[in-house]
Amino acid sequence: MRGRAIRPGRPAGVESGPVSGLLEVVESGVLVSIQDQGRPGYRDIGVPVSGALDPELMAAANALLRNQPGAAVLEVLLKGPTLRTRSGPVRISLAGEITAKLFSSLGHVRTANAWSTATLFPGDSIQIGGVASGIAAYRVPRPPPDVIGLSGSADGWRD
């Protein structure tokens, strides 16, 4: 079976149809975490709000994909991860001072710049480089169950 090349993303506001997929972490990067809007309303019982360090950047990355503003994202603080698409497609967006290299299953390589989107197909991968500040958002129908923690949050806190 022949693989498909990475396709450029559609502009914001253009629906691309249903997207489902699974990303495999090939290299974890440095200071990368899954973040969402956090858990407001629980400080009285000792639970920190947490969430993304830059909520506006998170909302912008999600807007590029037409996600909800508080949908879970990968927050990259130093060096980004390398991710491979196990099943797909998976749509990704980059927001902030961040770039990435996209590798298709056919061997094609291209650069993805900040404020852009791309669609990854099975076998394709993305290597997110060093950043000054950045968010990588992704679009799948719903996050995997093991990403959801306390109070429905998708950040690193666990019950």
Greatest CA separation for the chain = 56
Question: What is the spatial distance between Cα 116 and Cα 8, in angstroms, rounded to a whole number?
Answer: 9
| The pLDDT value given to residue 158 | 45
pTM: 0.73
Cα torsion through 149, 92, 131, 77, rounded to 10: 0
Chain-centre distance for alpha carbon 76: 10
Q: Where are the domains of the chain?
A: 19-136
Which pLDDT score, from 0 to 100, does residue 48 have? 86
Q: Which amino acid is at 113?
A: N
Q: Is the pLDDT of residue 95 over 60?
A: yes
pLDDT of residue 19: 54
How are beta strands 82-87 and 30-35 bridged, if at all? unpaired
